[in-house]
Homo-oligomer: A and B are copies of this chain.
């Protein structure tokens, strides 16, 4: 059938992209210039000034790890990859490969209201791609593995909307009160997934 993609080749391709993105993030943290190369004090101050970049890097690192896990779990439930899934997956990868840029903007301008909005917007577009891929598959049930419970899959789809795009949008709204509230939500989302993963 012409309409089918090799599932393992698409998974390997996506995994490769996740591995590269999670690794490239650190390239956005540049070595600071200090006036006196021998002064520990100067270097300490310069490293401390990079703290927002370290924080935004860690948030994005765990976010991408969670994307990887969720991608893993979602694709396990697909029996066949048609072109629709392929291109929804491409949209998900588009937003995922973009993550280093809003991460760097957030790290450079942590107290700027708009950098938090921008980060949350990209993340909610990424998360929405997951949900849209799920909605697409709900309409084409024959793509799902036989052992998938459709009711559970539908409920998981609603949860993916709630804990994905909606949560990120709420992070944006909280930024109107204080930029750091957005930070907290963006960190909270992967942490929630890490802990709900581990202690389930």
Contact = CB atoms under 8 A, between A and B. Distances in A.
Interface stretch (A58-66, A127-135, A138-146, A154-162): A58-66
Nearest to A194: B87
17 contacts: A3-B200, A9-B11, A16-B16, A17-B19, A20-B23, A22-B97, A24-B24, A26-B98, A26-B100, A28-B31, A38-B109, A39-B112, A40-B113, A40-B114, A61-B94, A69-B86, A83-B198
A29 B112 contact: no
A173 interface: no
A101 interface: yes
Q: Is the interface of A mostly helix, strand, loop or mixed?
A: helix
A12 interface: yes
Interface residues of A, number: 64
Which residue, of A11, A26, A105, has the highest number of chain B Cβ atoms within 10 A? Answer: A26
Interface of A: 2-3, 5-6, 9, 11-13, 15-29, 31, 34, 37-40, 43-44, 47, 58, 61-62, 65, 68-69, 72, 83-84, 86-87, 90, 93-94, 97-98, 100-101, 104-105, 108-109, 111-115, 118, 194, 197-198, 200
B17 A9 contact: no
Given A44-B114, A87-B198, A97-B61, A104 B31 contact: yes
Nearest to A100: B26
B90 A38 contact: no
A1 to B, nearest CB: 11
